[in-house]
Amino acid sequence: MKRMHLNRALGLLRAGLAIGVALLALPGAASAQGGGYPRQPIRLVVPYPPGGGADSLARLVAAKVGENLGQTIIIDNRPGANTSLATEIVARQPADGYTLLYVASSFAINPSLYKLNYSTEKNFTPVAFVARVPLIVLANNAYPVRNVRDMIAAAKAKPGAVTFASYGAGSPAHLAGELFEQMTNTAMLHVPYKGSSPALTDLMAGQVNLAFSSIEPALQLLRAEKVRPIAVTTAKRIQALPDVPTIAESGVTGFEAIGWNGIVAPAGTPRDIVKQLNAAVNTALQSPDLKEKFGTQGVEIDPKTPEAFGAMIRSESAKWAAVVKKADVKLD
């Protein structure tokens, strides 16, 4: 009798184990456990139009990360509403690792400028930091300002008369200029443009005195000597322009204002999937060909853990919220 009960118990145990193994083999269960990920192509939503700086970087990273994961990463360009359109779309996607968002500095800036239908902290999980995108201050060749000290002197001599262009109101370049004014107790006139190209065209024509610009379009003009470099906004000099000083070393101690790119996922994405994606991105960033391609664009690779990237987003959000509030930046 006891043997019959024992045999029955063993049979039930074997059946339970078999059912458990079968359930784990199901696609949904495997995804929840992170096992076998990725089993299908991954969508990387890019909140910019094709062909721009962030889009080109996203495509370079996606191709290499796809190789590392053994799956295709599909770029889905969703420009609009200063990146918030794409961000809101991804916030509503399943947290399964198959929809990711390529973000830039605006991800941390937008909450202080707009009323958003999502929270950058509550609705997203940081995945991987991609790169720093340095900014640079440029001058029209005929404008008699050759360094940061000259900038400060000119701005203090005629408050509000010195003009500086940026590639958009509320952009990292605009806010870098606002931060410069706050840290030097100066007043300049901001002239926003819809993109780097028209801003730099007017700078060359002398329609504006100065420009805060992203690095890639500036490099082409600097090589052709069509504009003059004043300083970079990074904490240290950049590899692409080693002879150009930083604003910080030029007398504005502690100044730093950078653009950056990274990847986030919907909140709740399984931790093991986030770790796998982070490792794939960081491995891709160390490949010699990717380093070379990024270097030609003046972009600086800086791999981070998801935790370190999350801390950076929070720090950047707080920093730019303070700048926006003090400058009373208001967008239509």
Q: What is the pLDDT of residues 114-161, one digit of tens each?
A: 999 999 999 999 999 999 999 999 999 999 999 999 999 999 999 999
Question: pTM of the full predicted structure?
Answer: 0.86
For the ranges 13-22, 75-84, 114-123, 222-231, the lowest mean pLDDT is seen at 13-22
Mean pLDDT along residues 60-69: 96
pLDDT band at 6 (very low <50, low <70, confident <90, very high): very low
Among 33-47, 156-170, 294-308, whose mean pLDDT is lowest?
33-47
Q: What is the pLDDT of residue 22?
A: 39
Q: What is the pLDDT of residue 52?
A: 84
245-258: average pLDDT: 97
> Of 90, 42, 54, 79, nearest to 264 (Cα)?
90
What's the rounded mean pLDDT across residues 63-68? 96
What does the angle CA 289 – CA 295 – CA 301 come to, to the nearest 5 degrees? Answer: 85
- Residue 4 CB neighbours (<10 A): 8
Parse the chain into domains and list their residue ranges: 38-132+259-327, 135-232
Mean pLDDT confidence for 315-324: 97
State the Cα–Cα distance between residues 54 and 288, nearest whole angstrom. Answer: 20
Mean pLDDT in residue range 33-60: 89
As a whole number of angstroms, the distance between CA 191 and CA 181 comes to 14
Provide the pLDDT confidence category of residue 330 given band limits of 50, 70 and 90.
confident
Q: Does domain 135-232 have CATH number 3.40.190.10?
A: yes
> Does this chain's domain 38-132+259-327 share its CATH topology with 135-232?
yes
Tell me the fold of 38-132+259-327: D-Maltodextrin-Binding Protein; domain 2 (3.40.190)
Instruction: Check pLDDT > 50 for residue 19.
Output: no
Q: Give the mean model confidence (pLDDT) for residues 80-109.
A: 96
Q: What is the pLDDT of residues 189-216, one digit of tens each?
A: 999 999 899 999 999 999 999 999 999 9
> Does 87 score more than 50 pLDDT?
yes
pLDDT at 326 over 50: yes
Q: Does residue 45 carry a pLDDT above 80? A: yes
Give the separation between CA 74 and CA 318, rounded to whole angstroms.
32
26 pLDDT above the threshold of 70: no
Given this model, what pLDDT does residue 7 score? 47
| Other Cβ atoms closer than 10 A to 195 | 13
Give me the pLDDT at residue 1, please.
Answer: 45
pLDDT (average), residues 281-286: 96
Buried b (16+ CB within 10 A) or exposed e, 206-228: eebbbbbbbbbbbbebbeeeebb
Average pLDDT on 11-19 reads 43
Question: Would the pLDDT of 18 be above 70?
Answer: no
